[in-house]
Amino acid sequence: MGFKFKKFSLAAGVLSATLLLATACSNETASDNSGSKDGKVVVDIFNGKVEIADQLKALTDAYTKEHPDVSFNIESVGGGADGSAALKAKFASNKAPDIFGNGGYQEALTWKDKFEDLSDQPWVKDAYESALVPMTIDGKVYGQPVNLEGYGFAYNKELFTKAGITELPTTFTELEAAAEKLKAAGITPFSIGYGEWWVLANHGLNVPFAYQDDADAFIKGLNDGTSKIEGNEYFNKYFDLLDVTLKYGNKNPLTTDYNTQVTLFATGEAAMIQQGNWIQPMLDKLNPNLEVGFIPMPLSDDKEQSDKLMVDVPTNWVVHNGAPDADKKAALDFLNWMVTSDAAKTMLVKDFKYVPAFKTIEASADDIGPLGAEIQKYSQEGKTYTWQFMKYPDGAGQEFGASLQAYVGKESTREETMKALDETWNKLKK
């Protein structure tokens, strides 16, 4: 769910898992930003994904064993607005980290003047080309993709079998029919957590953006006034999908938060959940034997169009171009080591459970879990849409979420909600 500073990450990744795990980890606090301590180069890392704090510490420890002249000062802060504010405060107080995360796309443009150009780094040739897109500006690569994350409807295989669903639904009509079958079998089809704005505004609303014939052209049109959300075919179809989840979902969706939503699914009280592979660790903890997979969030009955998952890079590691030379050199070496050394590659898939963003890193379902394996499979088959929510104007996600929550609460109509989405975009666009 990524470590989105601006959007969350969420992944949103991002994203989202930071809302679950409240434990943050940080090493000793550096007394200054000089870049050295006890004769060692100190690399400051600002980590916006608290759920990997322990794994990141172990990874840096492995590096320092091989490079005893380097030590790390890690600060882990939750994603979303908190992470963004904390990072801005670091720069404002002249304590900028040497390595930090960035969500790419719009966020990359916002921070571009702080980035070291990484185009000449050895690992660039090993990355999936699509994984470099979020951090490529004017042909230059400014960030190292951390991993791939994806989402759709995760589903409980046992409950699908119990309801007599023999073919997985990949179109809108098939999904509705599957939900009806589940309901008839006494099973709640969807676990819906619409108390979280990003479930609706980022991950949900991303689908109609992604379905546009040319998403970038559509977004450009929103910025110059030639496109509108109101009346757009795919946004209208998104409300159809939303209505299906509400009709066949748990009660009280607006007071269902992330933890509750995932728990309902993990304990078998609902058959499907709109979330991503980042929920795997929580599922493993709550129900280690749960058999799960992914189906898409379909807006149409065109299988070629609808049978895709939403997959992208939730965050990227960047190097501060204003860091002391020794720090910068160590930071660059660490990032290269992280995706080329056998020890680090193993840790990334087995301990972090990351779906690799690099062709040179292999991962099995045993390593990254069944949901991660599905994301990898869809990616390799080219059956993916990218994350357009990373291109929203700053602050639009939260406002979109409030408008969609008003719709879920029956406080506004579909038409009023689409109009409100347009108004938000027009107000916040630059």
At 189, which helix (H) or strand (E)?
Answer: strand 188-191
- Indicate whether 29 pLDDT > 50: no
What string of DSSP letters covers 276-307? EGGGHHHHHHH-TT--EEEE---SSS-HHHHS
Can you give the pLDDT at residue 298? Answer: 98
Total count of domains within the chain: 2
Say yes or no to pLDDT of 122 above 60: yes
| CATH number assigned to the domain comprising residue 222 | 3.40.190.10
pLDDT in tens, 276-322: 999 998 999 999 999 999 999 999 999 999 999 999 999 999 999 99
What is the distance between the alpha carbons of residues 349 and 362, in angstroms, rounded to a whole number? 8
What pLDDT was estimated at residue 36? 62
Give me the pLDDT at residue 37, please.
64
- The residue range of the domain holding 185 is 150-312
Confidence grade of residue 131 (pLDDT, cut at 50, 70, 90): very high
Residue 129's pLDDT band, with cuts at 50, 70 and 90, is confident
Q: Are residues 292 and 334 in the same domain?
A: no
List, for residues 322-381, the tens digit of each pLDDT value. 999 999 999 999 999 999 999 999 999 999 989 999 999 999 999 999 999 999 999 888
- Mean pLDDT is lowest, of 26-30, 205-209, 254-258, for 26-30
For residue 22, the model assigns a pLDDT of 29
Please enumerate in sequence order all residues whose Cβ is within 8 A of that of 296, keeping only pairs 6 or more positions apart, or say none: 152, 153, 170, 306, 307, 308, 309
Span 237-280, pLDDT tens digits: 999 999 999 999 999 999 999 999 999 999 999 999 999 999 99
Q: Give me the mean pLDDT over the 63-74 stretch.
A: 98
Over range 42-50, report the average pLDDT: 94
Q: Do residues 183 and 304 share a domain?
A: yes
Are 80 and 74 a contacting pair, CB within 8 Å?
no
Same domain for 112 and 26: yes
Are 9 and 16 in contact, with CB atoms under 8 Å apart?
Answer: yes
Nearest to 209 by CA among 106, 292, 109, 293: 106
Q: Is the pLDDT of residue 28 over 90?
A: no
* Contact (Cβ atoms closer than 8 angstroms) between residue 179 and residue 238: no
* Range from 38-42, 165-169, 414-418 carrying the lowest mean pLDDT: 38-42
pLDDT band at 51 (very low <50, low <70, confident <90, very high): confident
Between these two residues, 341 and 79, which has the higher pLDDT value? 341
Q: CA-based diameter of the chain, in Å?
A: 69
For the chain, the first-to-last Cα distance in angstroms comes to 27
* Residue 4: pLDDT over 60: no
Residue 104 placed within a domain: yes
Same domain, 60 and 70: yes
| CA of residue 76 relative to chain centroid, distance | 17
Triad 79, 295, 199: Cα angle to 5°: 30
The pLDDT value given to residue 382: 86
The reported pLDDT for the residue numbered 7 is 33
Q: Is residue 175 part of a domain?
A: yes
Q: Is residue 130 part of a domain?
A: yes
pLDDT score of 378: 93
> Does this model's pTM top 0.75?
yes
Q: Across the chain, what does the average pLDDT equal?
A: 91
> What DSSP element (H or E) covers 30?
none
Could you tell me if residue 18 is left (phi over 0), alpha (psi between -120 and 50 degrees) or otherwise beta?
A: alpha
Q: Note whether 163 and 303 are same-domain residues.
A: yes
Segment holding 12, helix H or strand E: strand 10-13
Locate 363 and state its tokens.
């991962």
Q: Are residues 139 and 163 in the same domain?
A: no
| Opening angle at CA 402, ends 240 and 82, nearest 5 | 125
- pLDDT reading at 427 higher than 80: yes
| Residues 221 and 297 both lie in one domain | yes
| Residue for token pair 């589940």 | 182
The closest alpha carbon to 115, from 76, 144, 92, 90, belongs to 144
Instruction: Tell whether 193 and 70 lie within a shared domain.
Output: no
Question: Residue 123: pLDDT above 60?
Answer: yes
Please identify, among 283, 312, 341, the residue that sits at the C-terminal boundary of a domain. 312
237 shares its domain with 304: yes
Rounded to an integer, what distance in angstroms lies between the CA atom of residue 79 and that of residue 88? 13
pLDDT at site 124: 98
Residue 136 placed within a domain: yes
- Strand 40-47 relative to strand 99-102, pairing: parallel
- pLDDT of 81 reads 63
* Weakest mean pLDDT among 56-70, 74-88, 279-293: 74-88
> Half-sphere exposure (CA, 13 Å, Cβ side) for 116?
25
Residue 430 lies in a domain: no
pLDDT number for residue 244: 98
Give the burial class of 38: count Cβ atoms within 10 A of its Cβ; 0-12 exposed, 13-18 middle, 19 or more buried: exposed
Q: Which of 298, 333, 361 is the last residue of a domain?
A: 361
Average pLDDT (78-100) is 88
Round to whole Å and give the CA distance between 427 and 81. Answer: 19
Q: What CA–CA distance (Å, rounded) separates 4 from 202? A: 11
pLDDT at 53: 92
**Does one domain contain both 100 and 218?**
no
Helix (H, G, I), strand (E, B) or coil at 192: coil
